[in-house]
């Protein structure tokens, strides 16, 4: 919550500065406060007559760098266009129709929801917040040329300049369809519309926000090692995020298309093997590592679609998972869950702030090397942290990220972390329960989960075969 508190304080400070400055008669204030509203759309803060439909150039630069890779001329993942002045001065279509888009933007940049999955620099936040606070006035004639000369926004399918340095999407071609290398076999998982293994019809994407699960046969040999996943994303306008699980789920058969499934119906022995969210990319394991593929019966791909096009849409994305034969990588990595399913017993967690801390000790007799984490919680999850308790008792934080259900991604550690025999992984899931009632563990989104999937090698040594994490506070899955 530290970041949010800081951002909140900053907004407060800015608010005070603006209040002091409002006596001045800058052109922006003249529009906002004293303008006759001759051509303002309703709330009196539109552009002055004849003002160009651009943003002031300094604001436009911040918007280009932080927002337009999702909110550009062709918005992705359910976002809306935020390019021209007019785009900011219309009723908010998604969030609150009683507010203007720029008013919603001010709320969402200050509560940390936007830019989704990234953080703005404090100076950028200041520029944008001050402009929004003053009524988001249009630019002047001089801004037209300046705005036109700004560089293109970072693309969603490449190396977005504004991402974290430790974000592995920061590389060329990060979202291109995968071309198998000599030693690789890549399997395709088509997003299709009707149940049946041979169906190739497009998936009909309903309007608004929706979750769907599509099931596939496991195509690889159980001894194969995963090298990477990604694929050919078809309709980026409506794709919000996907998670790839393998599991045994006796309720489903390969080819099944389960539409409108809220929550995550994992079945048994579920393992998360990949994930992507709007603005993200496919992932690749380091050259010396292959990922063990769990011996499961089904692959399940969960899609979160967000269709704001105003009509039904279609998608035919083809995800790819690539493997190499056993023995072709120096290290074999596996995945285990850290976390808990116990949120205060049957009662569940009470309203307000909640933290659940669990311990997983390396009893394997040797070192374990950690490579990355993928947190998974539901709607009220706020933060995931994993520390290593070293042999001398010190706690070292190796992973600490805010959690956003609408932006679930995996994180590679900037450097691999070695956990010696006898050392313990201490994992804390944090929640802000604003539902007004207790929330327990469960698969639907109105109940909660607390899993920090960790990729590590040698595979298997941290897995303690706990049947369920309920009540098992001091173990790993």
Query: Rg for the chain (alpha carbons), in Å?
Result: 24
CB of 173 to ligand HEC, least distance (A): 19
Nearest to 103 by CA among 125, 74, 134, 73: 134
Residue 337 burial (C-beta neighbours within 10 Å; 0-12, 13-18, 19+): buried
The residue written with tokens 């399918």 in the block is: 157
CB of 80 to ligand HEC, least distance (A): 5
CB of 26 to ligand HEC, least distance (A): 22
What lies within 8 Å, CB to CB, of 393 at 6+ separation is none
Stretch binding ligand HEC (CB under 6 A), from 92-100, 178-186, 372-380, 397-405: 92-100
Per-position DSSP letters for 264-298, written without gaps between them: ----EEEEEEEEEETT---EE--TTEEEEPP--SE
Determine the size of the site formed for ligand HEC (CB under 6 A).
28
CB of 96 to ligand HEC, least distance (A): 7
3-state secondary structure of 249: coil
Per-residue x/- marks for ligand HEC, 281-310, CB under 6 A? -------------------------x----
Per-position DSSP letters for 452-468, written without gaps between them: EEEEEESTTTT----S-
- Backbone phi and psi for residue 249, each to the nearest 5 degrees, phi listed first: -145, 100
Nearer residue to ligand HEC within complex by CB, 125 or 455? 125
Task: By CB under 6 A, name the one of 60, 64, 69, 289 that touches ligand HEC.
Answer: 69
Stretch binding ligand HEC (CB under 6 A), from 103-111, 252-260, 363-371, 467-475: 103-111
Task: By CB under 6 A, name the one of 72, 77, 230, 231 that touches ligand HEC.
Answer: 77
Nearer residue to ligand HEC within complex by CB, 69 or 212? 69
Task: By CB under 6 A, name the one of 66, 210, 307, 362 that touches ligand HEC.
Answer: 66
The answer to the question of residue 279 lying near ligand HEC (CB under 6 A) is: yes
The answer to the question of residue 100 lying near ligand HEC (CB under 6 A) is: no
CB of 100 to ligand HEC, least distance (A): 9
Strand 289-292 to 331-339 pairing:
parallel
Stretch binding ligand HEC (CB under 6 A), from 61-69, 136-144, 394-402, 451-459: 61-69
Torsion of CA 71, 77, 79, 84, to 10 degrees: 30
Query: What is the rounded CA–CA span in Å between residue 261 and residue 259?
Result: 6
The answer to the question of residue 348 lying near ligand HEC (CB under 6 A) is: no
Task: By CB under 6 A, name the one of 48, 80, 155, 379 that touches ligand HEC.
Answer: 80
CB of 108 to ligand HEC, least distance (A): 5
Nearer residue to ligand HEC within complex by CB, 159 or 364? 159
Q: How many CB atoms lie within 10 A of CB 225?
A: 24
Q: Quote the tokens at residue 127.
A: 């520029």
Nearer residue to ligand HEC within complex by CB, 111 or 223? 111
Per-position DSSP letters for 116-136, written without gaps between them: TTS---HHHHHHHHHHHHTT-
Binding residues for ligand HEC, rule: CB under 6 A, are 66-67, 69-71, 77-80, 92-95, 101, 104-105, 108-109, 114-118, 120, 278-279, 306, 406
């Amino acid at each position: 919550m530290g970041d949010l508190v800081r951002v909140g304080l900053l907004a407060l400070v800015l608010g005070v500065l603006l209040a002091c400055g409002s006596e001045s008669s800058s052109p922006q204030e003249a529009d906002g406060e004293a303008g006759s509203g001759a051509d303002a759309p309703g709330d009196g803060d539109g552009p002055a007559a004849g003002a160009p439909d651009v943003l002031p150039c300094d604001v436009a630069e911040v918007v280009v760098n932080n927002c337009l890779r999702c909110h550009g001329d062709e918005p992705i993942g359910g976002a809306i266009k935020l390019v021209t002045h007019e785009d900011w001065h219309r009723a908010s279509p998604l969030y609150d129709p009683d507010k203007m888009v720029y008013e919603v933007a001010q709320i969402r940049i200050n509560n940390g929801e936007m830019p989704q999955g990234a953080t703005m620099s404090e100076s950028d936040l200041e520029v944008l917040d001050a402009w929004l606070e003053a009524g988001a006035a249009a630019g002047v004639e001089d801004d037209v040329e300046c705005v036109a000369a700004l560089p293109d926004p970072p693309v969603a399918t490449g190396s977005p300049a504004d991402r974290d340095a430790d974000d592995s999407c920061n590389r060329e071609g990060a979202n291109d369809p995968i071309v198998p290398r000599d030693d690789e076999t890549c399997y395709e998982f088509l997003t299709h519309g009707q149940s049946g293994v041979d169906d190739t019809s497009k998936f009909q994407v309903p309007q608004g926000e929706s979750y769907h699960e599509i099931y596939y046969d496991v195509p690889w040999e159980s001894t194969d090692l995963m090298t990477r996943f990604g694929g050919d994303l078809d309709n980026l306008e409506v794709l919000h995020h996907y998670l790839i699980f393998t599991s045994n789920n006796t309720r489903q058969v390969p080819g099944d298309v389960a539409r409108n499934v809220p929550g995550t119906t994992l079945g048994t022995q579920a393992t998360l093997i990949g994930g992507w969210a709007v603005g993200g990319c496919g992932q690749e394991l380091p050259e010396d590592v292959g990922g063990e593929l769990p011996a499961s019966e089904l692959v399940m791909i969960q899609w979160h679609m967000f269709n704001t096009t105003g009509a039904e849409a279609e998608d035919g994305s083809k995800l790819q998972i690539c493997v190499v034969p056993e023995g072709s990588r120096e290290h074999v990595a596996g995945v285990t869950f850290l976390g808990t399913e116990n949120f205060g017993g049957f009662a569940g967690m009470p309203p307000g702030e909640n933290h659940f801390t669990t311990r997983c000790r390396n009893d394997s007799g040797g070192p374990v090397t950690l490579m990355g984490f993928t947190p998974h919680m539901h709607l009220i999850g706020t933060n995931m942290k994993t520390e290593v308790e070293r042999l001398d008792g010190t706690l070292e934080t190796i992973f600490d990220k805010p959690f956003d259900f609408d932006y679930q991604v995996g994180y590679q550690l900037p450097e691999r972390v070695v956990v010696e025999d006898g050392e313990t992984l201490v994992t804390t899931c944090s929640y802000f329960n604003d539902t007004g009632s207790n929330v327990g563990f469960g698969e639907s989104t109105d109940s909660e989960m607390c899993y920090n999937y960790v990729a590590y090698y040698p595979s298997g040594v941290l897995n303690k075969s706990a049947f369920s994490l309920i009540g098992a506070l001091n173990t790993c899955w």
